[in-house]
Amino acid sequence: MSKKLLLAATSAAVLHISFGQTAYAADDADIQALRSEILSLQKTYEQKIEALEQKVQTLQATAKINSSSQVPINVPATAQRSSKGNSFNPEIGVILNGRYQNFSAKEGDIAGFAVGEEGERGKEGLGIDETELNFSASVDDKFRGSATIALHEHEGETEVEIEEAYVATTSLPSGLEVKVGRFFPELGYLNSHHSHADDFADRPLTNRVFLDNNYGDDGLQVSMVLPTDFYSEIGGGVFRGDDFPAGGAGGADIGAWTAYGRVGGDIGDDASWRLGLSTLQVRQGTRSAQEDSVTFQGESGVYIADGRMVYAPTGNSAEQEISLQGEYFWRTEDGAYDDTNAGTGAVSYDDHQSGWYLQSAYKFDPQWRVGARYSQLYSGDTPLGLTGSSLDSDGHDPWAASAMIDWTNSEFSRIRAQYNYENVSNADADNQFILQYIMSLGAHGAHSY
């Protein structure tokens, strides 16, 4: 067996060597040729494969880009859907707020002034404030609209009040904006803001007395941000004249008009400021106040100087922020007052009153703020015919001081505790304690400065 194997092996080896050598010697050139052919084939195919691989890669990449955006020549649909309320998806928000109030003085009447309904002190005890529904959306590419409907109870009955219902332009050139409908016009600082966004639970004495918290009316307002490097804006409006201090629209005339001018800017990186002058001119009309016991018939003009400054000590206003804000009011009235409770009859009145407030809020923690406010009124001289009436200040210039602390868990919820010391008449001072919550459901729109 091994012999056969050995023979086979040797013969195979001999054959291999003899044949192999001759074969090798004979096809050397051919093999070289073959070899180079194979190499070149390999190269070509490698190149082709590389090219194909690159093509696949680029195709995949472009497919990815195409799938997550659209060619931005006209309107990227994703932008419109995500960024603003539109007619198919309006921003809807509900403000839920309520409070507990405790007063030490029986009466809260402000001496020397006939105050409208909203400007009064409020009720003691537990209760909800106005529940506000707000709908905001863009109407189309040129207009936007907003409606704020407030539901509140007055003397046991639920009242529905259209606080704001207006449309405004969005894309006029040259910094113009036209607003038409019912809204709170730009007057001083606080008037155009809703009360639930205030830094305090109530408005200062000046805004309560001169503007009945907010002057809101039906009309048209034009504003223009001017082409200056610093911020400057002017504007004005014409109104029906329905809300205090206007008297109720008598005829087809313009009942009231406003005008304002503002400037503002930055101080360094961390502070900003804004100053303004504005006026509200009320034409002839009849205005009732003090629970309809006092009427004023005539003209009046309110002039306001306002200022606000905000400073972020760490550079990030979400962490810490200090604000300082104040307004000075001057009101002229030319007409006649009649206090039916005091039985004065119509007494001619041509005089002025004034007042101011100064407040500061310090956000020392992202969620906590403290604030202090002082407000002062000057009622002017009481004419003889009005002695003993609501217009008789009895020589007392009303003033009030407030301190508050609030906890803001998010932009949607806030709880506040506030103490007021109100010295508004010659009677005992009023120590007020207020505890309130302000929460919002749904969309929470952008606030202006």
Partner 1 sequence: MLMGLIAIKEDAMRFFQIIILGAVLAVPLFTSMSSYAADQDRFNIFACAPEWGALAREIGGEKVDVFVASKAAQDVHHMRAKPSLLAAMRKADLVFCSGASLEIGWLPVLLNKAGSAQVQYGDIGSLMASDYVERLEVMN
Please report, as ranges, the residues that interact with partner 1 according to CB under 8 A.
64, 68-69, 72, 75-76, 78-80, 82-84, 141-142, 144, 168, 170-173, 175, 177, 223, 225-234, 259, 261-266, 269, 272-274, 277, 279, 281, 301, 303, 310, 312, 314-319, 334, 411, 445-449
Quote the least distance from Cβ 232 to partner 1, whole Å: 6
Nearer to partner 1, 49 or 172 (CB): 172
Report, in Å, the least distance between residue 284 CB and partner 1. 10
- Comparing CB distances to partner 1, the nearer of 165 and 277 is 277
Helices (H), 72-229: 77-83, 205-210
Shortest reach from residue 114's CB to partner 1, in Å? 21
Amino acid at 446: A
Minimum distance from residue 369 beta carbon to partner 1 (Å): 14
User: What are the distances in angstroms from CA 27 to CA 12, 22, 369?
Assistant: 21, 9, 97
**Which residue from 331, 352, 181, 348 is spatially nearest to 244, judged by alpha carbons?**
331
Rounded to a whole number, what is the distance in angstroms from the first to the last CA of the chain? 108
- Whether residue 185 has a cis bond before it, omega within 30° of 0: no
Write down the residue that tokens 């001081």 correspond to: 401
Q: Whose Cβ is closer to partner 1: residue 84's or residue 152's?
A: 84
Helix axes 2-26, 28-68, angle to 10 degrees: 80
293 vs 332, which CB is nearer to partner 1? 332
274/416 with CB nearer partner 1:
274
Least Cβ distance, residue 331 to partner 1 (angstroms): 13
CA distance to 76, 84, 224, 368, 407, per residue, from 412 (Å): 30, 18, 31, 14, 11
The nearer residue to partner 1, 206 or 317, going by C-beta atoms, is: 317
Closest separation between CB of residue 205 and partner 1, Å? 24
Pairwise CA distance, residues 397 & 273, whole Å: 30
- Minimum CB separation of residue 262 from partner 1 in Å reads 8
**Structural contact between residues 386 and 339, judged by C-beta atoms closer than 8 angstroms:** yes
Question: Are 362 and 370 a contacting pair, CB within 8 Å?
Answer: yes
Question: Cβ closer to partner 1: 374 or 407?
Answer: 407
Residues near 268 by Cβ (< 8 Å), separated by ≥ 6? none
